[in-house]
Amino acid sequence: MDCLFCKIVSGDIPATVVKKTDSITAFKDITPQAPTHVLIIPNKHFENMAEVANADADLAGQIFKVAGEIAHELGLKSYRTNANTGLEAGQSVFHAHLHLLGGRSFAWPPG
Ligand code: AMP
Ligand code: ZN
């Protein structure tokens, strides 16, 4: 299958990997939207996070757990996790991923 994130998991495409286990890989987003922008993905291919949750609730939980661990390791007290699901929601890579964003304010209204 021609999937960018499967190739990152296999090492065929380089990425700045921050955590890797038997079931998940976390790496820096190539176009960061915040000082910290990490993507946490299952090593196995699923189209989106809802599919992960349907197929393997434990794996979906692990992805959120790892997001929290990385945030903790980076000293982030506040952070945002986001999973875009579908083209109109802004999903551009159809291998499930959770965005972890931090290091700036997302509060609205600002200030
Ligand atoms: P989404 O738009 O929610 O599907 O998120 C896909 C994310 O993947 C975007 O934030 C991209 O910047 C990021 N991305 C695309 N290609 C790469 C890559 N080769 N390495 C790291 N992140 C990437
Ligand atoms: Zn894939």
Indicate which CATH number applies to the domain containing 20: 3.30.428.10
- Establish if 110 belongs to a structural domain: no
Strand ranges across the sheet with 36-42: 17-20, 24-28, 36-42, 98-102, 79-82
* Position 109 in a domain: no
- Residue with the smallest CA separation from ligand 1 atom 16 is 30
Terminal alpha carbon distance of the chain: 45
pLDDT in tens, 6-52: 999 999 999 999 999 999 999 999 999 999 999 999 999 999 999 99
Overall domain count for the chain: 1
Q: Is the pLDDT of residue 1 over 90?
A: no
Q: Judge if the beta carbon of residue 85 lies within 6 A of ligand 1.
A: no
Alpha-carbon distance of 52 to 13, in angstroms, equals 23
- Which class for 64: exposed (0-12), middle (13-18), buried (19 or more C-beta within 10 A)? middle
Question: Which residue has the least CA distance to atom 17 on ligand 1?
Answer: 30
Q: Cis before residue 109, ω within 30 degrees of 0?
A: yes
Q: Within a domain: residue 107? A: no
Q: pLDDT tens digits, residue range 87-108?
A: 999 999 999 999 999 999 999 9
Is residue 45 flagged as an active site residue? no
Residue whose tokens read 């999937």: 3
pLDDT tier at 110, thresholds 50, 70, 90: confident
- Nearest C-alpha neighbor of 81 from the set 18, 37, 45, 47: 37
Using the predicted structure, report yes or no on whether residue 111 has a pLDDT greater than 80. no
Task: Look at residue 31 and tell me if it is in a domain.
Answer: yes
| Rounded Cα gap, residues 46 and 95, in angstroms | 5
What would the pLDDT profile of 44-73 be if each residue is shown by its tens digit? 999 999 999 999 999 999 999 999 999 999
- Tell whether 19 is covered by a domain: yes
Residue 111, in any domain of the structure: no
